[in-house]
Amino acid sequence: MKQYGYFSDDRREYIITDPNTPRPWFNYLFNRIYHALLSHTGGGFSYYKDPKTNRILRYEHLHTDRSGRYLYVRDNNSGEYWSANWQPMRKPYESYKCTHGLGYSTISTQTSGIATDITYFVAHTDPVEFQIIKVKNNSNQTRTLSLFPFVEFVSGNIEMELVYRTIICLYNYADFDKDLNCIIARKEKYHHTQKDMGMSFFAVGGNISGFECNKDKFYGRYRDLQDPIMVQQGKLSSTDVQGEDMVGVFQKDVTLKPGEELEFYVALGYEIEHKKVKALLKKYSSLEAVAKELDKVKKYFLEAVERISVKTPNENFNTMTNIWGKYQLYAITCWRGTSQYHGGEGGLGYRDTAQDIEGLLSVQMDLAMEKLEKILYWQYSSGHAVSGFSYVEGSWDKDSDGLTMKSDVAVWLVYTVVSYIKETGDLDFLKKIYPFHDGGEATVYEHIVRAVRFLFRERGSHGLPYIRKCDWNDAYDHLGIRKQGESVWLAMALARACKQLVSLAQHIRDENIEKEMKEKYAVLIEIINKVGWDGKWYLAAYNDFGKKIGSKVDKEGNAPLNSQTWAILSSVVPDDRLPDILDQIDNYLDTAYGPALFLPAFTGFDETIGRVCSFAPGTKENAAVFSHACAFKIVADCEIGRAEKAIETFNKLCPMSPAKQDHDKYKVEPYVWAEYIIGPNNKYNFGEGTFTWNTGTTPWMFIAATEWILGARRDFGGLRIDPCIPADWKECSIKRPFRGATYEIEIKNPNGVNKGVKELIVDGVKIDGTLIKPHGDGKVHKVSVVMG
């Protein structure tokens, strides 16, 4: 089994030792206004605030992993030249290593006796990224070198660029700004709706002997970045650009004696105004200032991942919960709207953001609150919500009321707000007033009540909520195009929201809402079990013509996983039906990678169901092992005490699981969650991972690990201690902040049980029950738990 890297001893770095990985292995470097996606060879792209409208760099395709942030090196004595990143020239090297860390990546190579180290990172708060470059002569001869830091600009709307490739470039302007000693690349405004047309900037520390902005001249006729003529010739033309493709290239000429080293920095960023570019370049005008910023970034992310820490006998569990899964959660909460897999989309999905917030509440409250206020605004006054939104372009939905868009989005707001109240105890938040984006305003409490009332009101002939464009499964996109299709899964999700509102209303003593939500919940339970049950499992939906989706009478798409797990999460499944749905999950859907979304896969387009039928079998929502849905399953397992099954699925989902050790088969990064694994009905690629980083798996796996498996769970009255662990975990622990105090929770399991707390001691005092009332004193409290 081929492997391409390994974790450092502290698991905080992943070290790649062979650049020829089956797919580019990325790191996300980011702050709250700037995002750089960086592969292990320097490929990827960057953007400011929105990946579609404010794209800085071009990235052609995942399979070529080009373009990127490269350093070309030329030996001016021999005429030999190469790329220090390995890409894009891919010449033989003497050594190669890429280290992906928390907030930084370093690519280290040696070719022809010249060693280079390039450390990439994004500033803590500013819209700029840096490279700290070290070049050392490890040969026994004096070497005269030319160094060429390189980027390729878009500097504008990537969607327009992709569609109108030869037209949009006519708006391009790139030139060397002598006052700032940098290249400025921008697009001239070409439509009255465009606002805040900014500019990209590219600068290098120290002296330069030339620059280049003209892509055609840099590459040469019928050549590309794999063999640019100006690197071959060792001379840039110092040419500006008007109306042509733009690059940013500098030339630094240097002579290094044996053992001598040169260190300098490169800056790349985006700003709206020229004066702000000037201010940033002044702020970071020295190598010392840039190095200090790197230290600041490293410290920030180290502190961020240490806010919650766990210790169990399962190293993979610890790694994903303590470090990489948590870092991934920070990254996608900031930047959920794009990835290396679909770089032309902008903005943030509504349901995605809501779930990310819920995952982040316990570790980064200010970021969670920033996003929570956004999704409150992007709710309609009807109670429904937009499918997604962009900080630059606004709502994804083009219709006035959103009724033809995704059906489920508003239900996630309820879970997120309720989780916020449980995490903080801040009941005053429910009274705060926020506007709806289509006009009017209401308290937060009213926002979530309206969400439930909207979904309950908008139901079809079977009494189930309308599915409209789709529910959680985006690819069920033809079930409700005639506005008659209904979702069984959404009825369950709505029932769960009603149940949560019952608990919230009881907590704040609102008897009217408590009564209303209990009545709605009872209605939904009856309907789901009457029209949603198919004999051995729950259906997915009904289409516009009343046809059951996910039924045993169909040859394809049976036993939909989400409907089985959410029957548990919403507490709608009767005791006598529970064994049947567990049998489908455990014995029909399960694989070495986790349970499939349904089986068998669809094999051809059905216009009454949707594009789910057209995906290749086992890919995307067509019977893949969809990690997000598997995470739902883990929480459902814990709710009914199935600890062994919960950890079994957790282990299977881990990117470093035994089934994923063959990297040539699994292909993708072995240190972050993947959206899905290609499912068993695919003839060629079963077991291949794909769509890493940007996945709702991330918050749910973090919640599953910390709140359900280790059981340190937020509740209205305090911190609930309710572990659900494997019998062979005799000891484990979790450190968790909660309402102004920190709790160090040691769990002992001497009798090897899965669930149940025999004894709970806080600061040496035994307490009754499993609820720790908040201390809020800023202190560390020792908690001892004995299971039994």
What would the pLDDT profile of 491-510 be if each residue is shown by its tens digit? 999 999 999 999 999 999 99
What would the pLDDT profile of 543-587 be if each residue is shown by its tens digit? 999 999 999 999 999 999 999 999 999 999 999 999 999 999 999
Mean pLDDT of 67-77: 97
Give the lowest-confidence range in 332-336, 601-605, 714-718, 728-732: 332-336
* Structural contact between residues 131 and 119, judged by C-beta atoms closer than 8 angstroms: yes
Q: pLDDT value at position 192?
A: 85
Kindly tell me the burial class for residue 511, based on how many C-beta atoms sit within 10 Å of its own C-beta (0-12, 13-18, 19 or more): exposed
Radius of gyration over alpha carbons of the chain, in Å? 27
Q: Is the peptide bond before 617 cis (omega within 30 degrees of 0)?
A: no
Q: pLDDT value at position 137?
A: 98
Q: pLDDT value at position 449?
A: 98
* Structural contact between residues 669 and 339, judged by C-beta atoms closer than 8 angstroms: no
Q: How confident is the model at residue 300 (pLDDT cuts 50, 70, 90)?
A: very high
Strand order in the sheet with 548-549: 486-487, 541-542, 548-549
Q: pLDDT value at position 63?
A: 86
What would the pLDDT profile of 723-779 be if each residue is shown by its tens digit? 999 999 999 999 999 999 999 999 999 999 999 999 999 999 999 999 999 999 999
* Structural contact between residues 390 and 159, judged by C-beta atoms closer than 8 angstroms: no
Q: How confident is the model at residue 643 (pLDDT cuts 50, 70, 90)?
A: very high
Q: How confident is the model at residue 715 (pLDDT cuts 50, 70, 90)?
A: very high
What would the pLDDT profile of 236-261 be if each residue is shown by its tens digit? 999 999 999 999 999 999 999 999 99
Mean pLDDT of 325-352: 87
Mean pLDDT of 209-227: 97
Mean pLDDT of 19-38: 97
Instruction: Say whether pLDDT at 401 is over 60.
Output: no
Helix pair angle (488-508, 444-457), 10° resolution: 150
The whole model's pTM is what?
A: 0.96
- Give buried/exposed letters for 530-563 (b at 16+ CB in 10 A, else e): ebbbbeebbbbbbbbeebbbbbeeeebbbbbbbb
Instruction: Say whether pLDDT at 400 is over 70.
Output: no
Q: pLDDT value at position 23?
A: 96
Q: How confident is the model at residue 403 (pLDDT cuts 50, 70, 90)?
A: low
Q: pLDDT value at position 624?
A: 98
Instruction: Say whether pLDDT at 398 is over 80.
Output: no
Instruction: Say whether pLDDT at 608 is over 70.
Output: yes
Distance CA 83, CA 382 (A): 56
Q: How confident is the model at residue 340 (pLDDT cuts 50, 70, 90)?
A: confident
Instruction: Say whether pLDDT at 404 is over 70.
Output: no
Strand partners, 75: 145
Q: pLDDT value at position 338?
A: 80
Mean pLDDT of 220-245: 96
Distances (CA, A) of 739 to 414, 715, 742, 777: 21, 11, 8, 9
Q: Residue 385 has what DSSP assignment?
A: B
- 683 vs 405, more confident: 683
Tokens of 627: 């990690």
Mean pLDDT of 524-540: 98
Instruction: Say whether pLDDT at 27 is over 80.
Output: yes
Q: pLDDT value at position 402?
A: 54
Calculate what percentage of the chain has a pLDDT beyond 90. 93
What would the pLDDT profile of 148-171 be if each residue is shown by its tens digit? 999 999 999 998 888 898 999 999
Q: Is the peptide bond before 600 cis (omega within 30 degrees of 0)?
A: yes
Q: Please give the backbone phi and psi of residue 287, each rounded to the nearest 5 degrees, phi first.
A: -60, -35
Q: How confident is the model at residue 347 (pLDDT cuts 50, 70, 90)?
A: confident
What would the pLDDT profile of 412-470 be if each residue is shown by its tens digit? 999 999 999 999 999 999 999 999 999 999 999 999 999 999 999 999 999 999 999 99
Q: pLDDT value at position 280?
A: 97
Average pLDDT, the chain: 96
Distance CA 737, CA 774 (A): 11
Q: pLDDT value at position 551?
A: 97
Distance CA 261, CA 254 (A): 10
Mean pLDDT of 698-713: 98
Calculate what percentage of the chain has a pLDDT beyond 70. 99
Q: Residue 611 has what DSSP assignment?
A: G
Q: pLDDT value at position 405?
A: 83
Instruction: Say whether pLDDT at 391 is over 90.
Output: no
* Count of all residues that appear for the chain in the document: 788
Mean pLDDT of 288-303: 98
Q: pLDDT value at position 470?
A: 94
Distances (CA, A) of 13 to 242, 541, 696: 43, 44, 23
Other CB atoms closer than 10 Å to residue 292's CB: what's the count? 12
What residues are annotated to the active site?
A: 474
